[in-house]
């Protein structure tokens, strides 16, 4: 069995179908052109990006060094963070701007096809209590019950655990994008116009269930 086949098999034994990244629609053109890039790459480049990240949280993440699946160690902000469920406390804190947000649903092949390195967590990567893993043998450490629950506040430490992340290095090309998801038809129309101007073909769906409506 190849490494790719083994990784795919390990992932299939857990309740994970896709990974999720969300951003402002104003960033869609750049993401369709350049893919999803880590924070340090965006900060140190000429790419235009509109962020709604909380700087106090980002400072905690900035100081962390993470061991990856190839045993190398790099800064957390050199990795692309992906959630395991769309409805997270991070999104909940931005309920007032949900119509300005889109999700990229990312294929699990970004983990198993062997072209990327990765790590994953059992909670928000910025939290002191959160543990980091770099082997798929440790997938059982992810709090799957909290990720799958209708509400995280019914679980102890649910807010942190619901924000468990897969961290991908060095970036995520658009070839891994399964679809875009938005909260309403106005947002979908905006995304469709941007994708058309970019000459990029991708499914764009209105799925209110991804959001807090």
Which pLDDT band, with edges at 50, 70 and 90, does 44 fall under?
confident
Instruction: Determine the average pLDDT of the residues in 189-207.
Output: 98
Coil, helix or strand at residue 2: coil
Instruction: Give 133-175 as a DSSP string.
Output: E-SGGGGGGS-HHHHHSS-GGGSTTHHHHHT-EEEEES-B-GG
- With CA atoms as reference, report the closest residue to 183 among 166, 160, 206, 164: 206
pLDDT given at position 61: 83
Q: Do residues 160 and 148 lie in contact, with contact meaning Cβ atoms separated by under 8 Å?
A: no
How far is the C-alpha of 91 from the C-alpha of 53, rounded, in Å? 11
Instruction: Determine the average pLDDT of the residues in 76-94.
Output: 97
pLDDT given at position 28: 97
Domain count, the chain: 1
Q: Give pLDDT tens digits for 174-185.
A: 999 999 999 999
pTM: predicted TM-score of the whole model, two decimal places = 0.94
C-alpha angle with apex 202: 201 to 206, nearest 5 degrees? 135
Task: Mark the binding-site residues for NAD(+), compressed into ranges.
Answer: 21-23, 61
Beta strand segments in the chain, E: 19-24, 65-67, 73-75, 80-83, 101-106, 117-121, 132-133, 165-169, 177-182, 204-206
Task: Mark the binding-site residues, compressed into ranges.
Answer: 21-23, 61
How far is the C-alpha of 140 from the C-alpha of 10, rounded, in Å? 10
Instruction: Determine the average pLDDT of the residues in 183-190.
Output: 98
Q: Give pLDDT tens digits for 114-137.
A: 999 999 999 999 999 999 999 999
Residues belonging to the active site: 61, 165
The residue segments making up the domain with residue 118 are 3-210
- With CA atoms as reference, report the closest residue to 39 among 30, 49, 29: 49
Q: Give pLDDT tens digits for 140-178.
A: 999 999 999 999 999 999 999 999 999 999 999 999 999
């Amino acid at each position: 069995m190849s490494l790719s086949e083994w990784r795919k098999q390990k992932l299939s034994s857990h309740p994970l179908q896709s990974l999720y990244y969300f951003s402002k629609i104003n960033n869609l053109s750049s993401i369709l052109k350049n893919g999803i890039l880590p924070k340090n790459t965006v900060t140190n480049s000429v790419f235009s990006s509109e962020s709604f990240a909380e700087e106090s949280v980002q400072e905690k993440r900035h100081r962390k060094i993470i061991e990856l699946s190839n045993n190398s160690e790099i800064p957390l902000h050199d990795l692309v963070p992906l959630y395991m469920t769309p409805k997270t406390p991070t999104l909940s804190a931005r309920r007032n701007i949900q119509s300005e947000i889109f999700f990229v649903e990312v294929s699990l092949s970004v983990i198993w096809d062997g072209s990327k390195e990765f790590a994953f967590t059992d909670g928000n990567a910025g939290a002191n209590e959160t543990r980091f893993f770099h082997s798929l043998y440790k997938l059982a450490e992810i709090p799957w019950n909290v990720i799958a629950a209708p509400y995280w506040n019914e679980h102890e430490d649910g807010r942190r655990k619901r924000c468990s992340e897969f961290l991908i290095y060095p970036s995520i090309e658009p070839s891994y994008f399964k679809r875009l998801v938005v909260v309403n038809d106005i947002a979908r129309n905006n995304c469709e116009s941007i994708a058309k101007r970019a000459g990029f073909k991708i499914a764009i769906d209105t799925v209110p269930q991804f959001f807090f409506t």
